[in-house]
Amino acid sequence: MTAMDWTSTAGLLAGRVAIVTGASGGVGRGLARALALAGARVVVAARSPAGGGETVAQIEAEGGQALFVATDVCDRDAVRRTVEAAVQAFGGLDIVVHNAASTVARPTSLEDIDDALWAEQAGVSLDALHHLAHAALPHLRDTGRGRFLVLSSAQGQHGGAMNPAYTALKAAQRGFVKALAREWGPHDIVVNALAPAALTDAARAYLEADPERTREAMKSFPLGRMGDMRDDIGPAAVAMCSDLWRYVTGQTVNVDGGYYTAL
Amino acid sequence: MTLSTSPPGALDGALALVVELGLPVMSGVAEGLRDAGAEVVVLRDPRLAGSSDEVDAALAAALGPGRAPALVVLSLLGEATTALGPLDGVDLQAWRAGAAEPIRIAMRVLTALGARMKPAGRGAILFLAPSLSLVGGAGMVALSTALEGQRGLMKSVARQWGASGVTVNWAAAAPRALSPHFDAADLAAKGDAVPVALGRRPDARTEIAGLAAWLAGPAGRGVTGATLMIDGGEWMAP
């Protein structure tokens, strides 16, 4: 595998302002770094000041501009303040990436889903979309090149058996994207979803615990590996947020090394 | 054209449950299942939107204790889900009621149905819904979100329950064949010269009920987690 040549994306998002939710680590941090490497000024929206601050530090070390804003995406007022902070600090808003997701990922049977689990997952998956869409719409409409990108999961497409609540909510986000793409198309706002197979810290720990299982699992990836958050998933997100993909909307794009070829 | 009814006897003596919450879309389906020989119970009970205990009580009132239907056709479109209008005019309460709650309701209803059907070792559950969520629609963000969420749930549950012999599928029907409510909707239109291959909407009594009867029969037992487009060949998705 050759290293990602980031000079090829330099300037693709120059002058753009992006908010990335859940950017205090993992996929969100990788996306925030990728958008910044492509020239965007990035608001790192997350609950954790420590993790968010580290993301900002990494972006700045790579020559980018970023601002951490403490954000609970389930809190409507917090989301509104984050959008206002982006506009105040950077002069506008062009890109919203909703990456924040529930941290509850344990296998769960349908019968074991209780109201507390549902509320936690639905809040970060669906309430957050409502808050972000409401707060961002005036700015995305003004910019004429608005992008609303939802980090989804192939589980919502193929019907993951691990957790019906998670699967249903990821599928719901796909319905949201399709409908909102039609609704916001007249405003030149592009709405898409990206479903990654990302080598997060959790995925890495799971795989490293059993090398044989890892070898078997990697056979399912035509590219033979899970994606690096910054260098594999990030560039796809950059393209989707740039002018290169301005005619693609309402789609769920699987960025997964070819894992799911049937969706 | 004269349409024949479902094959008489296809569901001979089988218990079929038709569940409808909110927007009426089942017109003709119950009659079609009776045509196929089923004993049909229609359940329209606001308790379906309540707690797990209330859902269990609604099912018990309709079916009696412990009876397991061989076929369930259900639509769980709450009234809030079907409100039409741009997202920026939908407040948080309406959003939750329209987008999230129908998914949670579907979870509770499926759980209650599974408690009856899985021990029986077989049975077919078919969601009946408008196809609009597969293509999206302006003014229908909450509805599309709820429907796709229920469809994703259907797939996940189909995997979890597969070994039990209970199948779970999704019928995506032409919206205006289900309800005149969608006459006012800004539905996405297929731009081909022949936008609907069959040139007409599906007939609920014969064709939607017939599809459900087929899924409940021996030939349909190998189909689960599927989205079956019953739109006359409009979208031909995927």
DSSP line for chain B: -PPPPSPTTTTTT-EEEEEEEES---TTHHHHHHHTT-EEEEE--GGGGS-HHHHHHHHHHHH-TT---SEEEEEEE-GGGG--S-GGG--HHHHIIIIIHHHHHHHHHHHHHHHHHHHHT-EEEEEEEETHHHH--TT-HHHHHHHHHHHHHHHHHHHHHGGGTEEEEEEEE-HHHH-GGGGGS------SSSSSTTSSPPPIIIIIHHHHHHHHSGGGTT--S-EEEESSSSS---
Residue A133 resides in a domain: yes
Contacts of A157 in chain B (CB under 8 A): 152
Separation CA A238–CA A215 (nearest Å): 30
Q: Is A166 a catalytic residue?
A: yes
- Name the catalytic one among A153, A178, A206, A247: A153
A250 vs B136: CB contact, 8 Å cut-off? yes
Half-sphere exposure of A157 (CA within 13 A, CB side): 18
Place of tokens 């995927």: B238
Cis peptide before B238 (omega within 30 of 0): yes
Closest CA to B30 of B208, B167, B220, B172: B208
Closest CA to A147 of A239, A49, A26, A61: A239
Q: Is B71 on the interface with A (CB under 8 A)?
A: no
Answer yes or no: are the C-beta atoms of A40 and A95 closer than 8 Å: yes
Distances (CA, A) of A246 to A41, A144, A178: 19, 11, 15
Q: Is the predicted pLDDT of residue A227 greater than 90, yes or no?
A: yes
> DSSP label at A3?
P
Interface residues of chain A, partner chain B, Cβ below 8 Å: 76, 109-111, 113, 115, 118, 122, 126-127, 130-131, 133-134, 137, 155-161, 163-165, 167-183, 185, 250
CATH number reported for the structural domain that contains residue A131 in this entry: 3.40.50.720
- Measured between CA atoms, how close is B191 to chain A, in angstroms? 15
Nearest 5°: phi and psi at B224?
-150, 150
Q: Which residues are within 8 A (CB) of B62 and not within 5 positions of it... i.e. 6 or more apart?
A: B17, B41, B43, B45
Is residue A5 in some structural domain?
Answer: no
Q: How far is A109 from chain B (nearest CA, A)?
A: 7
Residue A261: inside a domain? no
Determine, for residues A110 and B150 on separate chains, whether the beta-carbon distance falls below 8 Å: no
Low-confidence ranges of chain B (pLDDT < 70): 1-9, 238
What residue type is assigned to position B211 of the chain? Answer: L
Q: Provide the token pair at B31.
A: 């009659």
Of the ranges A114-123, A195-204, A221-230, B36-45, which one carries the lowest mean pLDDT score? A195-204
- Mean pLDDT computed over A87-98: 98
On whether the CB atoms of residues A236 and A194 are closer than 8 A, the answer is yes
Tell me how far apart the alpha carbons of residues B138 and B189 are, in angstroms, rounded to a whole number: 12
Domains and CATH numbers, chain B: 15-230 (3.40.50.720)
Count CA atoms closer than 13 A to B3's CA, side-chain side: 15
A153 is catalytic: yes
Q: Which of A137, A167, A175 sits opposite B156 (nearest CB)?
A: A167
- B:199-218 residues touching chain A, CB 8 A cutoff: none
| Nearest beta carbon to residue A179 from set B114, B144, B157 | B144
CB within 8 Å of B218: residues ≥ 6 apart: none
- Name the residue in chain A with its Cα closest to that of B110: A110
Give the integer Cα–Cα distance in Å for A21 and A123: 14
Instruction: Give domain status of residue A4, yes or no.
Output: no
Backbone angles phi, psi at B4, to 5 degrees: -80, 155
Alpha carbon distances (Å) from A96 to A17, A43, A193, B190: 9, 10, 11, 30
DSSP label at A124?
I
Determine which of A33-42, A114-123, A222-231, B73-82 has the lowest per-residue pLDDT on average: B73-82
Q: Which residues contact B37 (CB under 8 A, 6 or more apart)?
A: B8, B9, B10, B11, B12, B13, B14
CA distance B200 to B222: 29
In the structure encoding, which two tokens stand for residue B86, read together? 């741009």
Q: Which residues pair with A20 in a beta bridge?
A: A44, A97
ipTM score: 0.93
Cβ separation of A168 and B144 shorter than 8 Å? no
Predicted structure pTM score: 0.94
Tokens 């979870």, residue located: B107
Percentage of chain A with pLDDT > 90?
87
Mean pLDDT of A96-116: 90
Contact B149 A159 (CB under 8 A): no
Q: How many CB pairs under 8 A join A and B?
A: 144
Task: Give contacts of B 87-106 with A, CB under 8 A.
Answer: 87-88, 90, 92, 95-96, 99-100, 103-104, 106
Residue A260 in domain: no
- Closest-CA residue of chain B to A160: B156
Please tell me the predicted confidence (pLDDT) of residue B2.
47
Residues present in chain A in total: 263
Do B138 and A126 lie within an 8 Å CB cutoff? no
Residue of B nearest to A135 (CA): B88
Q: What is the DSSP letter of A172?
A: H
Query: In the annotation, is A109 catalytic?
Result: no
- Among B78, B1, B9, smallest CA distance to B38 is for B9
Question: Out of A110, A171, A172, whose CB is closest to B99?
Answer: A172
Residue B190 zone, left/alpha/beta (φ > 0; ψ -120 to 50; rest): beta
Smallest CA–CA distance from B133 into chain A, residue:
A175
Q: What is the pLDDT of residue A226?
A: 95
CA distance A168 to A171: 5
| Residue of chain A whose alpha carbon sits nearest to that of B160 | A161
**A101 in any annotated domain:** yes
Q: What is the pLDDT of residue B6?
A: 57
- Give the span between the Cα atoms of B15 and B73, in whole angstroms: 11
The amino acid present at A89, given as its one-letter code, is A
Q: Is B134 on the interface with A (CB under 8 A)?
A: yes
How far apart are the C-alpha atoms of B231 and B217, rounded to whole Å? 22
Mean pLDDT of chain A: 94
Q: How many domains does chain A have?
A: 1
> What is the end-to-end Cα distance of chain A in Å, rounded?
26
Structural domain includes residue A154: yes
Q: Which residues in chain B have Cβ-Cβ distances shorter than 8 Å to A178?
A: 133-136, 144, 148
Q: Which domain holds residue A154?
A: 10-255
Assess if residue A3 is contained within a domain: no
In this structure, of A1-10, A96-105, B35-44, B220-229, the range with the lowest mean pLDDT score is A1-10
